Amino acid sequence: LISTLDEVMRIQTEGREKRREAEIELQRIEGDLKNRLLQIRN
């Protein structure tokens, strides 16, 4: 039972890390898109 709980905790931690990485990547993509739109507009 304890090993199962440890596994659940590990999976949750990995999920949080991957979500944080995805949010950072999304912010980078959004910034890139905004810059390109500004370049097109000018």
pLDDT digits (tens, 9 = 90+) for 1-42: 899 999 999 999 999 999 999 999 999 999 999 999 999 998
Query: Diameter of the chain by CA atoms?
Result: 62
User: What pLDDT score was predicted for residue 42?
Assistant: 84
What is the rounded radius of gyration, in angstroms, for the C-alpha atoms of the chain?
Answer: 18
- Predicted TM-score of the model (pTM): 0.70
Q: Is the dihedral of CA 36, 38, 40, 42 positive or negative?
A: negative
Instruction: Indicate the number of domains in the chain.
Output: 1
Domain membership of residue 27 as a residue range: 1-42
